[in-house]
Amino acid sequence: MGKAALAALAVKGKRLLAQEAGAVVKAPCGSLRGEVAEGIREFRGVPFAEPPVGALRFKAPVKMKAWSGERDATKFGPAAMQATATAEASEDCLYLNVFTPEVLKEPLPVLVWIHGGGFTGGHASAEIARFAKEGVVAVSVAYRLGVFGFLDVSPLLGESYAGSANNAVRDLILALAWVRDNIEAFGGDPARVTAGGQSAGGKLTDILLGTPSAVGLFQQGISESGGAERVWATVEEAHAVAKSFGEEWRKDSGKENAGLLTADAAALIEVQKKFIKAWPHRSPLRPELDGVLLKRLPVETIAAGSGKGKRLLIGSNREESAAMIGTAPKEVDRREIGGVPPEAFDAVEAKYTALYPQLTEERRRVRALTAEEYWVPTVRCADAMVKGGGSVWMYLMVYAEDGGKYPGFAYHSEELSMVYGTPRKGFANAATEAGLAAGIHPAWVGFIKGVAPAGPGLSVWPQYKSDTRATMVFDTTTRVEMKPQEAELRLWDGLSW
């Protein structure tokens, strides 16, 4: 072997050693060996709780004991049990992933990302890894879904399971506590933590803002298509859901309620699918006011000051519901109404005709369902934050693709690729989306770092106040509007979820 080849081999060896050293972290939880790729250190499948199986099924999460030796952290943990898992799924699902810049010079702000999926689907992934390239320690976290995380089984299994509809919220609180205790070893600053998410992740972020035992664990929130309304307001409502699920379980399995504790997890998911299909409205599986973790509605707790001193970036898309009901729904699917009574929804929807005569009936229907599920809860959460002493920046996505599955609609999840900084390619107005991403991604990064959101091509983004409702509107060109869609918002006054 020649001198040049030997020199090249030596350089390669040094690089491998440097990568190996950079991918090992000794944290309070234990030592972890991850990987380094494209300038990012990746630590995957890190447990933050004991597996919630066996005697811990339907129970509050238990902190993971520190381990000895070095744990492999090069593979993602399984997704939570769900009906349509796109990755390996298991009841043993309480893992998180950490992505950091390869070179660390000072403690960095932290983003803890909560995935969406309607409280019944989704998984923690690497989609937020891009933020690590921008000087952020990014953490994606899993939590229990469906009946494992959002069902109060105490009417079926006894009082020792009271409040089990809040287990997923408790999972997230424990994950945030893990970040507080361990993230410094990864280069993160535990005093600069942003909890955020989209869809169910946005809702859970807002609920955490209104959960007293969680608010000290993070300083900022990002809520995309969220709101703090998806909570059963009484234990009786949560128990009615459980009893209905129990009836389906006994009918399907031929077993008594006690069988829920030992049944195969996949069997419970099959019963869950049948139960949800039979339930007359949307999202029966949700947190509850249990009198312990949640004593009043999160939005009320936020307004009372739980968000004081905190910052919130929040917003929604104008036609979110097109992604659920299609762009030309012939009538309202009663199961798509999230919280208000169907007769109350009908009364509001009827007023959309006079307000938006230029829109088709189908488009008005999409707008009304979107307002009920996403936009109005988003505005109410923002108003609660302002009232409680927090700082808010609001956005509204109205940009609509020329083609694709939902042409002409600003549909649910449309903003995600722009937030991640990975705009899609290969469609008619891809250049417009790329331009929006060039402004939106830096704005999110800036917010995480503690400054006002701003980015190339964006107007100056003022803080949201309840009297002016200053809102950044993302369109083919961006602009700030005061009180956008005010007349539509007023149609929902007086209705509770």
The residue whose two tokens read 């992934």 is 125
Give the three-state DSSP class for 437: helix
| Beta bridge partner(s), residue 471 | 394, 481
Question: Whole-structure pTM over 0.85, yes or no?
Answer: yes
d(CA 5, CA 10): 9
Q: Which residues contact 54 (CB under 8 A, 6 or more apart)?
A: none
pLDDT, position 128? 96
End-to-end CA distance of the chain: 75
Q: Which residues contact 256 (CB under 8 A, 6 or more apart)?
A: 250
Type of residue numbered 249:
W
Alpha carbon 216 to chain centroid, angstroms: 19
| Tokens of residue 482, six digits | 């005061």
Q: Is the dihedral of CA 131, 133, 134, 135 positive or negative?
A: positive
Task: Calculate the alpha carbon distances from 237 to 85, 241, 286 in Å.
Answer: 28, 7, 11
pLDDT, position 252? 94
Alpha carbon 28 to chain centroid, angstroms: 27
- Domains annotated for the chain, with CATH where assigned, are 3-490 (3.40.50.1820)
330 exposure class (CB count in 10 Å sphere: 0-12, 13-18, 19+): exposed
Half-sphere CA count of 297, side-chain side, radius 13 A: 17
| Tokens of residue 365, six digits | 């229907």
pLDDT, position 28? 98
- CA neighbor of 315 nearest in space, from 248, 397, 407: 397
pLDDT, position 357? 97
Would you say 369 and 337 are in contact if contact means Cβ atoms under 8 Å apart?
yes
Would you say 413 and 201 are in contact if contact means Cβ atoms under 8 Å apart?
no
> DSSP character for 49?
B
Per-residue pLDDT of the chain (497 residues; tens, 9 = 90+): 566 655 554 434 434 443 455 699 999 999 999 999 999 999 999 999 999 999 999 999 999 999 999 999 999 999 999 998 666 899 999 999 999 999 999 999 999 999 999 999 999 988 999 999 999 999 999 999 999 999 999 999 999 999 999 999 999 999 999 999 999 999 999 999 999 999 999 999 999 999 999 999 999 999 999 999 999 999 999 999 999 999 999 999 999 999 999 999 999 999 999 999 999 888 999 999 999 999 999 999 999 999 999 999 999 999 999 999 998 888 877 777 877 888 899 999 999 999 999 999 999 999 999 999 999 999 999 999 999 999 999 999 999 988 888 999 999 999 999 999 999 887 778 899 999 999 999 999 999 999 999 999 999 999 999 999 999 999 999 999 999 999 999 999 998 87
| Tokens of residue 453, six digits | 């959101």
Gyration radius (Cα) of the chain, Å: 23
- CA neighbor of 205 nearest in space, from 42, 387, 385: 385
Q: Which residues contact 356 (CB under 8 A, 6 or more apart)?
A: 363, 364, 367, 488
| Beta bridge partner(s), residue 140 | 97, 113
d(CA 31, CA 39): 21
Q: Is the dihedral of CA 173, 223, 416, 112 positive or negative?
A: negative
d(CA 217, CA 316): 25
317 exposure class (CB count in 10 Å sphere: 0-12, 13-18, 19+): buried
d(CA 378, CA 383): 9
The secondary structure element, H or E, covering residue 224 is: strand 220-224
Task: Calculate the alpha carbon distances from 236 to 122, 156, 239, 271, 275 in Å.
Answer: 28, 13, 5, 22, 18
- CA neighbor of 302 nearest in space, from 372, 238, 370, 229: 229
Which ranges in 143-259 belong to alpha helices (H)? 146-150, 154-157, 167-182, 200-209, 235-253
